[in-house]
């Protein structure tokens, strides 16, 4: 199955989710990559990732994405062209768990590398 990119604004509207959320998802089998695009990585971006994860794991977005199954792995990424602040990097590291990984990407190549590390090829993503 080819990975697919889903605009979270559209998905949230369809699912009736009104909380803060990241910008888009990449769904590849049972792995979901959540991406928050920002000009500067801030704590608020991490909060958006957390709320999106909660909405997927136990809220309306999860039942819309996988009605019959569960998401087994989530990779949450803040994608910013600038270097990530130390406080944000520490928060991302402290939030990572066995099946939920938080990362920061400083450019498109870095984002593609993170995705490859988790078995998702960016060039195969359907928009």
The model's pLDDT over 43-88, given as tens digits with 9 standing for 90+, comes to 999 999 999 999 998 888 887 776 545 678 899 999 998 888 888 9
Question: Does a structural domain hold residue 3?
Answer: no
Number of structural domains (the chain) is 1
Question: Does a structural domain hold residue 31?
Answer: yes
Question: Does a structural domain hold residue 59?
Answer: yes
Question: Does a structural domain hold residue 114?
Answer: yes
13-28 confidence digits (pLDDT tens): 999 899 999 999 998 8
Contact 75, 118 (CB under 8 A): yes
pTM, two decimals, is: 0.89
Question: Does a structural domain hold residue 127?
Answer: no
Contacts 24+ apart (CB under 8 A), 83-88: 84/41, 85/41, 85/42, 87/43, 88/41, 88/42, 88/43, 88/45, 88/46
Range of the structural domain that residue 67 is part of: 10-122
Question: Does a structural domain hold residue 4?
Answer: no
């Amino acid at each position: 199955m080819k990975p697919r990119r889903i605009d979270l604004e559209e998905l949230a509207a369809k699912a009736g989710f009104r909380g803060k959320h990241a910008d888009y998802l990449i769904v590849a089998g049972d792995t979901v990559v959540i991406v928050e695009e920002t000009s500067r990585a801030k704590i608020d971006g991490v909060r958006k990732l957390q709320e999106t994860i909660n909405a997927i794991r136990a809220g309306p977005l999860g039942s819309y994405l996988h009605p019959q199954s569960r998401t087994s792995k989530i990779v949450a990424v803040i994608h910013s062209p600038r270097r990530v602040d130390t406080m944000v990097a520490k928060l991302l590291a402290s939030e990572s768990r066995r099946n939920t990984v938080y990362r920061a990407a400083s450019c498109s190549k870095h984002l593609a590398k993170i995705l490859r590390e988790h078995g998702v090829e960016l060039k195969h993503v359907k928009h």
